[in-house]
Structure 1
Amino acid sequence: MAFAQQEFSTRPEHPPIGSTPVSLEEAVAASSTGLPQQWYSIGPGIWELLLNGAPDSDYKSVLQWYEPNTTSVNPHAIITHTYIEEVCYLQGGLSDVTLGQGWGPGAYAYRLPGMKHGPYVSSPEGCLQFVKLVPLDSK
């Protein structure tokens, strides 16, 4: 998959708290490029803005916005995946329910495939984070 050059002079604003969810399909349908050009919902109170890649790919860069006090998609499931994940927290924070540990602005995570993490709860101000996914076979 080819990535496109993209630059911002200011950070894209996340959706206001309590916004009506926009599905990935709706975001794609509203776009002339075939890729979502707006924030779309990936779970209750959790939003994603595709920066590069494809939304259904394990090779993409996104901004994720957790509304205040939001729990990850499955609040009881520990998360694992088959790709490398890099996360940089920009605003607010997340707490890992299993580890009993939280992270805030400036924190960074590098997760290898199979690493157990989550579920998460966002801070009272929510959480804005940059997330990059890279398939293991692309290294």
Structure 2
Amino acid sequence: MENVKAVKPELEFTDYTNFEAEPIHPVEGLSQRIIAQIPGSSVATRILQFEPGTNTSPNGIQIHDFWEELYIIEGSIIDLELNEEFKAGAVACRPPGMKHGPWKSPDGCKIFEVRYYSKGQ
């Protein structure tokens, strides 16, 4: 677990499009808008955007040391390992060490995601 002493910045309601869309390499069509992040850490709140046709196979299966909670705002993604589609309204809570992905999104998808560390892990 990272030694995180800083806190996320205070932020009142604002349109998420005020945050710059940053491409996530090496996946073509995958981007993020970071709403808040503890500098130098993976602790973040973001909007993850899959453009139509995005396939995250270049990133492989994901495993990380932080908690991850997600809500699909619109569209859908297909988990290529599970061969299962998850649509708008679906939620996930992934503990540290949980394997997930890769995914593809034939029609596009927008996801709200919160990453954090917990002392109780």
Shorter chain as denominator, the TM-score bin is: 0.7 to 0.9
Candidates 8, 11, 22, aligned match of 1:6: 11
**2:63–2:97 CA contact under 8 A, matched in 1:** yes
Candidates 24, 28, 36, aligned match of 1:42: 24
**2:79–2:104 CA contact under 8 A, matched in 1:** yes
Question: 5+ residue gaps in structure 1?
Answer: 14-36
Quote the offset at 1:54 in angstroms.
4.0
Deviation string for 1:79-114 (max 9, x for gaps)? Answer: 111111111100111110000111111110000111
Deviation string for 1:27-64 (max 9, x for gaps)? Answer: xxxxxxxxxx4111112211111101147522110001
The alignment's TM-score, normalised by the length of structure 2, stands at 0.81
- Larger deviation: 66-75 or 94-103? 66-75
**Quick one: distance in 1 between partners of 2:10 and 2:57?**
31
**1:113–1:136 CA contact under 8 A, matched in 2:** no
With a CA cutoff of 8 Å and minimum separation of 6, indicate the structure with the bigger relative contact order. 2
Candidates 55, 67, 78, aligned match of 2:51: 67
Q: SS of the residue aligned with 1:117? A: coil
Structure 1 stretches of 4+ moved >6 Å: none
Aligned to 2:3: none
Aligned residues: 114
**Quick one: distance in 2 between partners of 1:55 and 1:40?**
16
